C-alpha cells in the first residue's frame, strides 16, 4: 500500500509511522482514537483523485482530513476493524492543498484549495475591505475543506448564514476517483441538482472537496459592537432575546451563557460581571450607532457596549474555561426552535442532575444552537458512562422540542446511528440511498454521517 | 385511473376533461403543450402521498404543478409518449394546499403549504414588519412549492440569496409515496445530508414538496430606493457595475437592460430616458440615505433616485414589452461570472445576428444572470428553428465563459439534455445516480432536469 501511494504523492508524503495526531481530532478529549494503515498528503487535486482511485479499486477506506478541529470524530478513522475498508484505511490529509487559486476583491470572490485555513480566507478578505463571515472556533487551524465538509457555523452565522451560503462552487473527487467541478464563480446556477449543497455537510462520506469558490461581501459599514447584558434567570434572558428579535435590527450574533457556563467563564469576563448574573446575552450590531442603541433598548437598561476584540477573545475561551472546571467535559451541539430555547437550556441542567452530573450550556441563542455540556473528571469511567447516557436523553430532548441532534458539529463517529432519533424511516431511506448512489462501495469515511 | 384517484382526493378534484392550462406553463409562449391522463388536486399532504403511492405502484408518471409560471416547461407533462410513465401520466396540482400552517412574526418564521402564493408570503411578512426577499416574476400566481422546486430567484436575490437560503425545512412526498419531514423551524441543522437543499431546484424530479418552513428577516430599516443611470455603451455600463461593487455598499439589486431591451421597454420608462441611452443600470439601496448617495457616486453623475413602485412596475413589464416588439420571443436565463457579463451581453446580440435574429438581453447583472432573448414573429417556423439553433450557441457561450445554462428557470422540458454541455461526465454520473436513488422507477416528472 505505502509504496503504491508513494508513487502517487511522493515518498515523503506517505507517513509511515504516522503520529497519533493524524488519526484523531478535537474529539480526543473524549478519548476517541482511530486507526489508519497510511496517512497521505497529496500535493494537488489530481493526486487526491489518484489516491481515491487507487483506494476505490482495492477496497481501501478513505478518510479525508482537514484541520482536525471537529468535535464529533468526523475526521477520525473508524476505531473498529468492522468499519474499516476490507483492505484497510488511508487518511487523506488536505494540508498541502493550501493555494489561493484566485482572489478578485472587486468581484467579491475567491477560489481556494481545501487546505487553506479559515483564518487565511477571513484575513485576506478583511485586508481588502471584504467579509468572509463564517467563523467556527479554531479558525487559525480549521480548513475551508473541513468547513465545507461540516457546513460549519459560528456566532456570526445568525445574520450571515452557515458555510453553504458562501460557497458557489466546488471541485471534488467523487467515487471511484473522478475529479469534477460543480458550480464556480457564477453566483446563481440551477442547471443541475444541488451537488454543492449535498457535499456541504456530508463529512467526507460522499467525496472529497479539493477546492471551493467562495462568495464574499463588503465589510459591514460600521465596526461591530457587541452589546452584553446579564439577567437573573433563564426566562428573563430568553425574553430579552425575543425583545431583540422584535426591535427591527438584525444582530450579527445573538449568543448566550447560562449560569453554569458563567460560573466557569464569568470570572474572566472583561471588566467583571454584575453580581447575581445567572444568564448572559451577547448581541452584536454591525450596522452603526442606531443599531447599538436599539439593541441596548431591547436588552434592557443594564446592557452595555463592549470592545469587540476583548469580548470575543473571552467568548472564544468559554469552552476551555468550562472544560477546566472539573478537568473535562462532554459537549454537544443540539439545535432547537428559538421559542424552545429556554426548555433546552433548563432541560440540559435537569438531565445532568438526573445522572449526577454538573451540566451547563452556552451557544448561538439566535440560531437555537446550544452547546449543552456535562462536566467530567478525567479518568472517571463511571461518570463518563453516565454522561453518555445523559447525552442520549439530551438528543431525545432536542428532537422532542422539534430540533436537531446537531446544529454545527455533525454526525461523526461519536454520533453514528443517531440520525434515526430525528428522521423518520422514509427520510433515513433517502439518506441511505444517496450514500449508496455516490459511494456504492461504502469506502468514503465509513461510519460517519451514518443513519 | 380516474375512479381510483377520485377515491383518494374526491371526485370533484379529479379533472376529467382538464382544460389545457393544466398541462402547460409559461413556456406555452414557445408552443409547448403536454399530455396528462388525469389532473388531480389533492387537499392535503396525506392525499398527495396517497396519490404518489397509487401512481408509483402502477407505473404512472407524476408531474407536480405549482402556479405554472415557469419558462422552461418544468410543470408541463412530457409531450411525447416515450417520456410518460408506462401506465400514463397524472398532474398533481398543489393549489389546494394553500394554508399558512403557522406564522410567528416575533420568531421570524412561517410554515406554509406548497400552494401558498409567493405574494401571500411576502404580503403577510410585510404586514408584520418582516421581509421575504425572494421575488421571482409573477409573484401573485407563483407558489412557494414551485419556488422551491426551481430554487427561484429574482432581482433582490443579489443581496438576499435565492429561495434555498430562506427554507429551513420541508415536508415532502418521496418515492414510493412516503411523507417525510426534513428540517423544520430550527435554523441550523447538520444532522443529515442536505435533503432540503437537494429538493430545492430539483423541479419535482425527486419528490413533491408539500410544505416548507420559511425564514424571514426584519424589513430593511430604510425604504428601498432604486438608483438608475444610463450609459452609452455596454462597456461603460459594466464598468459602472464594477464601480458599484467597489463602493462598499451591498445593493439589494443590480439590474441591467441592454440597447435592444431598452428599444422595446424604454419608451415606457417612468419620466423618460436620456437621449442616447444604450444601457441601463438599476441598483437599489435599502440601507438609508448614505447608501443612496454612495450608489449615485459610484454610478456616475447622471444617476438618479426613483420612486420604487413605479420603477419596479416598469421593470416587471420588460419581458412583455420585449415580447411585444415582434409578437413573440425565445428568452433564456444564462448565468456568467460577473467579469464576463459584457461578453455575455455582446455575445447574445452577435449570436442573434449570425442567425438573422434580433436579440437583446436584460436581467440580474449583479448575479451575472442574463435573460438573453431572440425576438420572434409568431407562426414563422423557420425563424423559430433558427432561434433554437441560436439558443444552442448561447448555451455554449455561457459555458465557455465559465457560467451556467440556467441561472433561474431550471432545466424543464425545453432544456432537457443540456446539462451535458456544462457538467463533466463524472458529475453527470453523480446527477443520474441521485435521480436513480430517490426515484428508482423514474416516475417523478420524467424528462425534466435530465442530463
Residue A58, all three cell numbers:
482495492
Contact assignment for A198 to B201 by CB distance below 8 Å: no
Q: Which of B117, B99, B114, B96 is nearest to B13 (CA)?
A: B96
Other Cβ atoms closer than 10 A to A248: 15
Q: Compute, in degrees rounded to 10, the torsion defined by CA atoms B261, B133, B144, A369.
A: 150
Query: Which residues partner with B113 through β-bridges?
Result: B211
pLDDT score at B28: 87
Which residues in B16-162 belong to E strands, given as ranges? Answer: 38-40, 61-65, 89-93, 100-104, 109-113, 130-131
Other Cβ atoms closer than 10 A to A389: 14
- Is A414 part of the contact surface with chain B (CB cutoff 8 Å)? no
Chain A contacts of B437, Cβ < 8 Å?
A: 430, 433-434, 436-437
pLDDT score at B319: 94
Chain B contacts of A287, Cβ < 8 Å?
A: 221, 287
* Alpha-carbon gap, residue B448 to B451, rounded angstroms: 9
Q: Which of A53, A56, A22, A47 is nearest to A37 (CA)?
A: A22
Nearest-CA distance A427 → chain B (Å): 6
Residue A324, all three cell numbers:
477546566
* Alpha-carbon gap, residue A71 to A82, rounded angstroms: 23
Query: Which residues partner with B264 through β-bridges?
Result: none
Nearest-CA distance B245 → chain A (Å): 6
Chain A contacts of B422, Cβ < 8 Å?
A: 191-192
- Is A165 part of the contact surface with chain B (CB cutoff 8 Å)? yes
Helix and strand numbers (H, E) in chain A are: 15, 20
Other Cβ atoms closer than 10 A to B417: 10
* Alpha-carbon gap, residue A134 to A216, rounded angstroms: 10
pLDDT score at A267: 95
Helix (H), strand (E) at residue A199: helix A195-199
Contact A66, A75 (CB under 8 A): yes
Contact assignment for A406 to B189 by CB distance below 8 Å: yes
Which residues in A175-246 belong to E strands, given as ranges? Answer: 178-183, 208-215, 217-218, 225-231
In terms of CA atoms, which chain A residue is nearest residue B440?
Answer: A433
* Alpha-carbon gap, residue A94 to B13, rounded angstroms: 56
Chain B contacts of A200, Cβ < 8 Å?
A: 194, 197
Contact B407, B153 (CB under 8 A): yes
SS3 state at A52: helix
pLDDT score at A30: 81
* Alpha-carbon gap, residue A83 to B134, rounded angstroms: 44
In terms of CA atoms, which chain A residue is nearest residue B165?
Answer: A165
- Tell me which CATH homologous superfamily contains domain B225-400: FAD-linked oxidases, C-terminal domain (3.40.462.10)
* Alpha-carbon gap, residue B200 to B172, rounded angstroms: 11
Residue B145, all three cell numbers:
412549492
* Alpha-carbon gap, residue B440 to A305, rounded angstroms: 57
State which residues of chain A have pLDDT below 70.
18
pLDDT score at A19: 75
SS3 state at A32: coil
pLDDT score at B139: 84
Contact A244, A283 (CB under 8 A): yes
The secondary structure of chain A in percent helix, strand, coil, rounded to multiples of 5, reads: 40, 20, 40
Helix (H), strand (E) at residue B397: helix B381-400
Residue B132, all three cell numbers:
421575504
SS3 state at A92: strand
Q: Which of A373, A446, A447, A372 is nearest to A415 (CA)?
A: A447
Chain A contacts of B429, Cβ < 8 Å?
A: 174, 178
Place of cell 457538467: B423
Nearest-CA distance B193 → chain A (Å): 6
pLDDT score at A428: 97
- Is B115 part of the contact surface with chain A (CB cutoff 8 Å)? no
From the list B186, B336, B435, the residue facing A337 with the nearest CB is B186
Chain B contacts of A158, Cβ < 8 Å?
A: 187
Chosen for mutation from A104, A190, A250, A445 (greatest number of chain B CBs closer than 10 Å) is A190
How long is chain A?
451
Contact assignment for B151 to A194 by CB distance below 8 Å: yes
Contact B92, B63 (CB under 8 A): yes
Contact B83, B32 (CB under 8 A): no
Q: Which of residues 283-302 of A touch B (CB under 8 A)?
A: 287, 290
Contact B295, B227 (CB under 8 A): yes
pLDDT score at A132: 98
Contact assignment for A181 to B411 by CB distance below 8 Å: no
Query: Which residues partner with B167 through β-bridges?
Result: B214
Q: Which of B192, B114, B162 is nearest to B408 (CA)?
A: B162
Chosen for mutation from B430, B440, B442 (greatest number of chain A CBs closer than 10 Å) is B430
Contact A34, A24 (CB under 8 A): yes
Contact assignment for A335 to B407 by CB distance below 8 Å: no
Provide the CB-side half-sphere exposure for B316 (13 A, CA): 13
SS3 state at A49: helix
Q: Which of A315, A365, A320 is nearest to A340 (CA)?
A: A365
Chosen for mutation from B188, B253, B291, B416 (greatest number of chain A CBs closer than 10 Å) is B188
Contact assignment for A433 to B433 by CB distance below 8 Å: no
Nearest-CA distance A278 → chain B (Å): 24
- Is A335 part of the contact surface with chain B (CB cutoff 8 Å)? yes
Residue B237, all three cell numbers:
455600463
Q: Compute, in degrees rounded to 10, the torsion defined by CA atoms B175, B180, B185, B187.
A: -50
- Is B178 part of the contact surface with chain A (CB cutoff 8 Å)? yes
Contact A394, A372 (CB under 8 A): yes
* Alpha-carbon gap, residue B387 to B395, rounded angstroms: 12
Q: Which of residues 218-237 of B touch A (CB under 8 A)?
A: 218-219, 221
Q: Is the dihedral of CA B30, B432, B214, B164 positive or negative?
A: negative
* Alpha-carbon gap, residue A212 to A284, rounded angstroms: 29
Helix (H), strand (E) at residue A407: none
pLDDT score at A139: 84
Q: Could you report the per-residue pLDDT of B272-303, keeping only the tens digit for each? A: 998 889 999 999 999 999 999 999 999 997 99
Buried b (16+ CB within 10 A) or exposed e, B133-155: bbbbbbbeebbbbbbbbbbbbbb
Chosen for mutation from B173, B175, B191 (greatest number of chain A CBs closer than 10 Å) is B191
pLDDT score at A12: 95
Q: Which of A5, A12, A102 is nearest to A48 (CA)?
A: A5
In chain A, domain spans: 1-219+421-445, 225-400
Chain B contacts of A449, Cβ < 8 Å?
A: 192-193
pLDDT score at B31: 84
Instruction: Work out the end-to-end distance of chain A between its first and last CA atoms, rounded to an integer number of angstroms.
Output: 31
The ipTM is 0.97
Provide the CB-side half-sphere exposure for A205 (13 A, CA): 32
DSSP H helical ranges for A88-142: 118-127
* Alpha-carbon gap, residue B136 to B113, rounded angstroms: 18
* Alpha-carbon gap, residue B404 to A101, rounded angstroms: 21
The DSSP annotation for B171-188 comes to EEEETTTEEEEEE-S-S-
In terms of CA atoms, which chain A residue is nearest residue B427?
Answer: A180
Q: Could you report the per-residue pLDDT of A233-258, keeping only the tens digit for each? A: 999 999 999 999 999 999 999 999 99
Output the CATH code of domain B1-219+421-445: 3.30.465.10
Contact assignment for A449 to B192 by CB distance below 8 Å: yes
From the list A186, A407, A451, the residue facing B189 with the nearest CB is A407
Angle at A274 between CA A273 and CA A277, to 5 degrees: 90
* Alpha-carbon gap, residue B158 to A66, rounded angstroms: 31
From the list B186, B189, B402, the residue facing A186 with the nearest CB is B402
Q: Is the dihedral of CA A277, A282, A288, A293 positive or negative?
A: negative
Helix (H), strand (E) at residue A331: strand A328-331
State which residues of chain B have pLDDT below 50.
none
pLDDT score at B163: 98
Contact assignment for B431 to A338 by CB distance below 8 Å: no
- Is A427 part of the contact surface with chain B (CB cutoff 8 Å)? yes
B4 cis-preceded (ω within 30 degrees of 0): no
- Is B369 part of the contact surface with chain A (CB cutoff 8 Å)? yes
From the list A248, A403, A423, the residue facing B218 with the nearest CB is A248
Q: Which of B109, B95, B119 is nearest to B44 (CA)?
A: B95
Chain A contacts of B369, Cβ < 8 Å?
A: 187-188
Q: What is the DSSP letter of B72?
A: S
- Is B417 part of the contact surface with chain A (CB cutoff 8 Å)? no
DSSP H helical ranges for B118-204: 118-127, 144-150, 157-160, 195-199
SS3 state at A423: coil
Amino acid at each position: 500500500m505505502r509504496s503504491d501511494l508513494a508513487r502517487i504523492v511522493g515518498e515523503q508524503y506517505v507517513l509511515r509511522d504516522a503520529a497519533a495526531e493524524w488519526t484523531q481530532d478535537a474529539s480526543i478529549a473524549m478519548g476517541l482514537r482511530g486507526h489508519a494503515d497510511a496517512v497521505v498528503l497529496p500535493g494537488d487535486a489530481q493526486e487526491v483523485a489518484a489516491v481515491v482511485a487507487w483506494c476505490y479499486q482495492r477496497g481501501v477506506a478513505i478518510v479525508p482530513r482537514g484541520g482536525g478541529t471537529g468535535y464529533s470524530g468526523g475526521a477520525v478513522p473508524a476505531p473498529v476493524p468492522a468499519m474499516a475498508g476490507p483492505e484497510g484505511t488511508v487518511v487523506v490529509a488536505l494540508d498541502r492543498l493550501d493555494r489561493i487559486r484566485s482572489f478578485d476583491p472587486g468581484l467579491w470572490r475567491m477560489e481556494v484549495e481545501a487546505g487553506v485555513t479559515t483564518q487565511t480566507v477571513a484575513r485576506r478578505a478583511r485586508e481588502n475591505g471584504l467579509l468572509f463571515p463564517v467563523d467556527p472556533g479554531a479558525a487559525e487551524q480549521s480548513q475551508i475543506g473541513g468547513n465545507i465538509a461540516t457546513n460549519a457555523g459560528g456566532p456570526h452565522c445568525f445574520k450571515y448564514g452557515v458555510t453553504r451560503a458562501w460557497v458557489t462552487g466546488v471541485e471534488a473527487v467523487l467515487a471511484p476517483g473522478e475529479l469534477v467541478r460543480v458550480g464556480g464563480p457564477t453566483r446563481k446556477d440551477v442547471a443541475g441538482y444541488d451537488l454543492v449543497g449535498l457535499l456541504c455537510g456530508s463529512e467526507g462520506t460522499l467525496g472529497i472537496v479539493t477546492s471551493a469558490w467562495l462568495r464574499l461581501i463588503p465589510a459591514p459599514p460600521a465596526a461591530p459592537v457587541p452589546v452584553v447584558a446579564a439577567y437573573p434567570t433563564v426566562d428573563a434572558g430568553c425574553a430579552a432575546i425575543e425583545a431583540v428579535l422584535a426591535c427591527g435590527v438584525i444582530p450579527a450574533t445573538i449568543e448566550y451563557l447560562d449560569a453554569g457556563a458563567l460560573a466557569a467563564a464569568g470570572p474572566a469576563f472583561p471588566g467583571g460581571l454584575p453580581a447575581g448574573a445567572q444568564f448572559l446575552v451577547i448581541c452584536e450590531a454591525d450596522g452603526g450607532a442606531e443599531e447599538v442603541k436599539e439593541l441596548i433598548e431591547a436588552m434592557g437598561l443594564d446592557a452595555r457596549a463592549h470592545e469587540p476584540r476583548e469580548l470575543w477573545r473571552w467568548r472564544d475561551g468559554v469552552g476551555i474555561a468550562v472544560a477546566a472546571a472539573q478537568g473535562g467535559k462532554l459537549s454537544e451541539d443540539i439545535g432547537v426552535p428559538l421559542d424552545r430555547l429556554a426548555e433546552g437550556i433548563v432541560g440540559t441542567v435537569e438531565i445532568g442532575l438526573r445522572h449526577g452530573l454538573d451540566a451547563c450550556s452556552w451557544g448561538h441563542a439566535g440560531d437555537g444552537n446550544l452547546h449543552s455540556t456535562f462536566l467530567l473528571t478525567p479518568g472517571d469511567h463511571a461518570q463518563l458512562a453516565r454522561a453518555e447516557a445523559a447525552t442520549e436523553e439530551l438528543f431525545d430532548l432536542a428532537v422532542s422540542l422539534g430540533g436537531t441532534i446537531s446544529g454545527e458539529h455533525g454526525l461523526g463517529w461519536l454520533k453514528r446511528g443517531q440520525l434515526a432519533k430525528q428522521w423518520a424511516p422514509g427520510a433515513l431511506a433517502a439518506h441511505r440511498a444517496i450514500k449508496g448512489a455516490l459511494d456504492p462501495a461504502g469506502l468514503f469515511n465509513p461510519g460517519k454521517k451514518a443513519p
